[in-house]
Amino acid sequence: MRKLLLCLIILLTAAASQAQNLTATVQGTVKNELGKPAQMVTVALEGSVLGTYTDANGKYRLENIQPGNYTLRVGGVGYGTIQKPITLSTGQNLNIDFTIATASKALGEVIVSASRKVESLDETPASVHVLDSRTLQLQSQISPNLSNILANTVPGLALNSNTTSNVGQTLRGRNVLIMVDGIPQSTPLRNGSRDVRTIDPEAIERVEIVKGATAVYGNGADGGLINYITKQPNTKSPFSAYTSVTGTGMPFHSDETFGGRVSQQFSGTVKKFDYVASGTFEKTGVFRDGEGEVINPVYGLGETKMYNGFAKAGFNFNPKHRIEAMYNYFGSRQNSDYVLQVGKYAETPSIGVKGETQGEAEGTRYNHNAQLRYTGKKLFLNTDVDVSAYLQSFSTVYGWTPYFENGGQSTILSNKKGLRLNFYTPFELTSYLQPGITYGVDYMNDVTSQPLVDGRTWVPEMDLKNIAPYAQLQVNLFNDFIFKSGFRYDNVNIHVDDFQQLVLASGAGGNFVQGGQLEFGAFTFNAGLRYAGLKAFKPFVSMSQGFSMIDVGRYVRGAKEDYLSQMNLEPVIVNNYEAGFHSQLGKFSFSGAYFISTSELGANLKANEEGTYSIERAPEHVEGFEAVADFFVSDKLTIGANAAYSEGKVDLNNNDKFNDVEDSYLNGTRIPPFKSTAYVNFKPTAKLNLNLQWIYSGERDKFARNSKGGYNSGEGPVQAFNIFNLAGSYQVSQKLNLSLGIENLLDQAYYLPQAYWYGRDDNFTRANGARVQLGASYKW
């Protein structure tokens, strides 16, 4: 019996050894340019779903790899990217060491938004800006409001309004499409301007910003897109957790200003299953300006409660097949003890005073996002497959207003469902010519309406269905030239039922409108070329198109036409022409871009002296530049700055010229003033990190007063301001970290651009005074 058992053990051991010898292993060490170990760098095989991180000694190891041809990709936050083709044979143990260069803003980081396939920034002939996890964490110490974070870090994006609204927060003077893992958050059928702040930063891994018109995800990105990429699971441990607690308040005018936030995250990988889940709650106190006055509470961020719940789970059937599910809930409500006291435009600010608000609490009741996704690697014809089904359900409530007959509150309800089929097929031609095609089809159904809380209909249900095939060719020439070209065709159908317009307090409205079908097709094209052979100069040129529908709901609720078919609802097709570059010269990094954006048909929102809005359908021309510079003085000190400028005009007499007397500048809802930011990051010890940020917003004065002596909405002259923000952290131990953030460090009493260009007494509101966040986080 003992001999039989011994033989059995020997046989099983030999069998296991033989099975293990059928696969290959890759291992090695990654160091930075100073020869020091590069920790937490991603090492992954592009031809599989296998990947890992380097340890504290810079070492990595990938096991159980099927024999074949792969590309080994090495990169991560704060580093460039290295791609090395390898061939693995049965039982091979390959040892490869790397030296990887640091980068100011993770310029080689893998991205997915620019062309619907995984690629690095060096492969993208367009302006793409990535906010990595470290930048998000740093900026969240100052303010966890995503509108603030993006405005303070992204060149070309307009400043926020310090409210729940993102009206006027355009990208390069045009609409920006907001997404969560590719799920559209914007509500273009009735643009409620609540799409930027729809998820908490604690649920986000990184943010990808593609600038300039793009149709890669369809409607609404004629200025670009912002994609919030949610957290990824921890693949190094079966269980890990992260707890963060933060107290907030205003040190100089502290009465009623204290609040706080708490966040809890769990993550891990168990065999083929991985997961990450988090929950965040925040309660803010009263917001005060630099003079201690309570900030106008209308759509304010003070005295709000915010909830965010996030979960993601994935299962790897084998190295080629993965399925993943994601869900996120976001909600925010304001319960203020203050009401508006109207000031005087350009003289005294509108503030909050004690009082009782009318109606229900305003804010986003819910924003549900869910997605089920399958990815397959190297399947038929060596094709990668990405299939996803998603839904988004959104509800927000606006404040009570006497604008309607007997007063009331409006809401926006939007429900989206979508399916995306995405394929990527490479072609093995020669080592000097490596083409590949990304292609597929998108389907989306969007049902949006704007009823009042009491049930009255202001905007009826608008039912949009859109099916869009697309294809994108990428050709790598001589390893250094990347050429891209593609198209997309959106076939859009919108159905609106018959309805009666709501009666307003002025007595207007009440007209009967016959609904019907709106159908149109939008064909969009792009082409670009980038040279990536020299670190000192990597230029690109591109032409891209995007499209956006006008705000259908705003139009139909006050339209003079009796039939939907009579209304001018044709979409806006935008052409974006751009030239840019990136340079890395030793410790100096610099990038810049110049763009021209044109459209034969516009959708500028124009207000008259009575405050009534209309939509200008005249041709538009926007142009501008962006520049970013960083200097790595030493491993302890980094400095940097960026700047962005744009200007736009409307050809009102439609003669292909934009400098006639009849023509007009685009107003402040579209074009922001010049913006520049700079920073100094100082790390005197391995544990202490300090970051000082400067933000400058310039003047813009393009419009004359109206016949009443005031300014039409959007046309008020904007004044300049400077502020400083401070963020610091101290790593007490490997698990415990302390942080401090101060918004408006010098407690200045200043006005954001929106307060000026609105040109109205009620919107003339100051921004926050000095506001402090003191936090502690623990990894366990």
Taking Cα atoms as reference points, which of 510, 406, 414, 381 lies closest to residue 458?
Answer: 510
Q: How confident is the model at residue 12 (pLDDT cuts 50, 70, 90)?
A: very low
pLDDT at 7 over 50: no
Which tens digits make up the pLDDT trace of 721-752?
A: 999 999 999 999 989 999 999 999 999 999 99
Q: How confident is the model at residue 67 (pLDDT cuts 50, 70, 90)?
A: confident
pTM: 0.87
The mean pLDDT value for 100-118 works out to 70
Q: How confident is the model at residue 52 (pLDDT cuts 50, 70, 90)?
A: confident
Which tens digits make up the pLDDT trace of 456-512?
A: 999 999 999 999 999 999 998 887 899 999 999 999 999 999 999 999 999 989 999
The pLDDT value given to residue 78: 60
Q: How far apart are CA 10 and CA 14, in angstroms?
A: 6
Q: How far apart are CA 704 and CA 711, in angstroms?
A: 7
Percent with pLDDT over 90 in the chain: 76
pLDDT at 544 over 90: yes
φ, ψ of residue 238 in degrees (nearest 5): -70, -20
Taking Cα atoms as reference points, which of 182, 73, 119 lies closest to residue 384?
Answer: 119
Which tens digits make up the pLDDT trace of 216-228?
A: 999 999 999 999 9
pLDDT at 662 over 80: yes
The pLDDT value given to residue 107: 43
Residues 6+ apart with CB under 8 A from 471: 437, 438, 439, 486, 487
Which tens digits make up the pLDDT trace of 333-382?
A: 999 999 999 999 999 999 999 999 999 999 999 999 999 999 999 998 89
Q: How many CA atoms lie within 13 A of 719 on its CB side?
A: 12
The mean pLDDT value for 300-323 works out to 96
Q: How confident is the model at residue 10 (pLDDT cuts 50, 70, 90)?
A: very low
Secondary structure in 3-state letters for 298-367: CCECCCEEEEEEEEEEEEEEECCEEEEEEEEEEEEEECCCEEEECCECCCECCEEEECCCCCCCCEEEEE
The mean pLDDT value for 15-23 works out to 52
Q: Average pLDDT, whole number, for the chain?
A: 91
Contact between 543 and 528 under an 8 Å Cβ cutoff? The reply is yes
Least confident of 117-121, 231-235, 764-768: 117-121
Query: At residue 702, what is the residue type?
Result: K
Question: Residue 188 gets which letter from DSSP?
Answer: G
The pLDDT value given to residue 49: 59
Q: How many CB atoms lie within 10 A of CB 84?
A: 11
Element (H, E) at 627: strand 620-632
**Cα Dmax for the chain:** 108
Q: How confident is the model at residue 28 (pLDDT cuts 50, 70, 90)?
A: very high
Q: How far apart are CA 58 and CA 54, in angstroms?
A: 5
Alpha helices for 143-243 (secondary structure H)? 146-153
Percent with pLDDT over 70 in the chain: 95
pLDDT at 676 over 50: yes
The mean pLDDT value for 239-243 works out to 96
Contact between 303 and 339 under an 8 Å Cβ cutoff? The reply is no
Q: How confident is the model at residue 105 (pLDDT cuts 50, 70, 90)?
A: very low
Higher pLDDT, 571 or 49: 571
The pLDDT value given to residue 462: 96
The pLDDT value given to residue 214: 95
For the chain, domains (ranges, CATH) are 224-779 (2.40.170.20)
Q: Tokens 């301007």 correspond to what residue?
A: 193
pLDDT at 203 over 70: yes
pLDDT at 428 over 80: no
Least confident of 98-112, 135-149, 477-491, 640-654: 98-112
| Residue ranges with strand state E in 452-571 | 457-477, 481-496, 499-500, 512-513, 516-531, 538-548
